[in-house]
Structure 1
Amino acid sequence: MEIKAAVREVTGKRPVRRLRKQGFIPGVVYGPDVEPINIVLEANQFKKLVGKISESVPIKLVLEREGKTEVFDVFMKKVQIDKVTDEILHIDFYKPAAGRTMKINIPVKIVGKAIGVEKGGILEVMRNEIPVETLPTAVLEYIEVDVSNLDVGDSLHVGDLKLPEGMKTLLSKDEVVVTVLSPAGEEEETSVSQAAPTEPEVIKKGKKEEEEEEE
């Protein structure tokens, strides 16, 4: 995934509002080994990609700065959205330090059809995402959870997950990720809860909140 951006020279509420009216989105790049960089990117470019990006999707941010092109390996951490118009107001990109572990939430992807569901049980996903600590180069877009062998009353726990070497979960190994519930006398049905991709933190702001915030 590649996103193009440029250094944002202007700051403050009014100049940033003008940028948005001109079709741009302000943002920032930050991390443990980089000073915060104010950036701007084209709204049309970003809107085409936003549905494909989750917090665990690695992004190559191509930045034009002082006549040179720099490439940053980043993750999208926060998106601020106007709660009235749904306009994207601001984006935070996080650049992890090379060779050092980072903490990140990775979405769960359910695969297979549980035996218990075939019998009328209900598959319930208890954890849509798994917080882990890992090297930036080892981040997964999702953690696959195969539920094919789960019968009614069975569960899969964090300790059952197959994680790559060097990646450790920040949850207890006994925590339930997915379970098959009994229909409990209800009409027999098949219901599979699919986990949505983990999205970067989304903050919806009203006009007053936006005006009070420093860009």
Structure 2
Amino acid sequence: MASCFRSKATAAAAAAAGEALRLRLRSAAAPWRWEALASYHHTIQAVPRETAGSRAAARERRKGRVPAVLLTLAGVGPGEGVAHRQLLTADRKQLGDMLKQTPYFLSTPVRLQVRAGERSTAVVHSGTVLPIKVHTDETTGNILNLVMVQADEGAMLKVNLPVEFKGEDVCPGLKKGGFLQKIRASLVYLCPAEHIPPKIEVDLANLDIGDRVSMNDIAVHPSLKLLSKNETMPVCKILASKPVE
């Protein structure tokens, strides 16, 4: 009976020690490493950085961080320029996970929380941003730099939207043995921050051999403006056969 009590006491002590260790590790980690999963994958956690330049950026990367820049536009109209640049640093692992979770990362507004410091829980800035540039290492795939723009409601943003083709399985021209020539992988639109679509869908369901879809054929939200010198340029064509390379 005594040994039974000792074993229970030993197990309880081990459990308490394990919990204490977990809490110490949690308190030592950066706040974004223990955010709830829902917030973790939808909110970029960042802290300010004071120094720019390649050497400072290299130091951040050695610490597992990503140098980032937040741009604030001068106004809500197009072409009004950048009013402010804020230097930030974000967690590389968290950004990598967000890239995996969000297939249209560069056309999807996300939340941004800027904390006072790496160990601080005080939020000094919070808002919606649009990631517009991600620079990655070709060898390792690690994120090297991130550029975001403040995406407040009403702001007009220039967005490079990926083109996705649908209906290939029912396309009459393709069923006859035709070939889908994809000419544009993305299109640039001026979008209100609150109406940014993650992608532009091109429906092939009714296209026959010889048909094409031009930029101005694609239906989008009326608030979006296509930025192109020639809106009649084709996005895709259904050819009779694959072109000879």
Report TM bin, short chain: 0.7 to 0.9
Looking at secondary structure, tell me which structure has more helix per residue.
2
Matched, 1:158 2:215: yes
* CA deviation vs aligned residue, 1:45-102 (integer Å, no higher than 9, x gap): 1111123243211111111137334222111122233445443222111114542322
- Percent of residue pairs bearing the same amino acid type: 26
How many residues of Structure 1 are paired with residues of Structure 2 in the alignment? 186
- Partner residue in 2 for 1:3: 44
Superposition TM-score, scaled by structure 2 size: 0.68
- Partner residue in 2 for 1:182: 240
Matched, 1:62 2:113: yes
After superposing the two structures, state which structure 1 stretch, 168-177 or 36-45, moved more: 168-177
Superposition TM-score, scaled by structure 1 size: 0.77
Runs (4+) of structure 1 moved beyond 6 Å?
A: none
RMSD: 2.3
Alpha carbons 2:107, 2:132 under 8 Å: kept = no
Which residue of 43, 55, 60 corresponds with 1:19?
A: 60
Q: Please give the alpha-carbon distance, in whole angstroms, between the structure 1 residues aligned to 2:242 and 2:69.
A: 50
Q: Looking at CA atoms only, which structure, 1 or 2, has the larger radius of gyration?
A: 2
* CA deviation vs aligned residue, 1:105-125 (integer Å, no higher than 9, x gap): 111111112211100000111
Q: How does 1:171-210 map to 2 (within 5 A)?
A: 171=228, 172-183=230-241
Amino acid at match of 2:147: D
Alpha carbons 1:32, 1:97 under 8 Å: kept = no
Alpha carbons 1:76, 1:93 under 8 Å: kept = yes
Alpha carbons 1:31, 1:97 under 8 Å: kept = no
- Partner residue in 2 for 1:195: none
Q: Please give the alpha-carbon distance, in whole angstroms, between the structure 2 residues aligned to 1:15 and 1:30.
A: 19
Provide structure 1 residue ranges, at least 5 long, that are not aligned to the other structure.
Answer: 187-215
Looking at secondary structure, tell me which structure has more strand per residue.
1
Q: 1:173 to 1:17 in 2, by over 3 A?
A: closer
What is the Cα deviation at residue 103 of structure 1?
1.6
Larger RCO (alpha carbons 8 Å, 6+ apart): 1
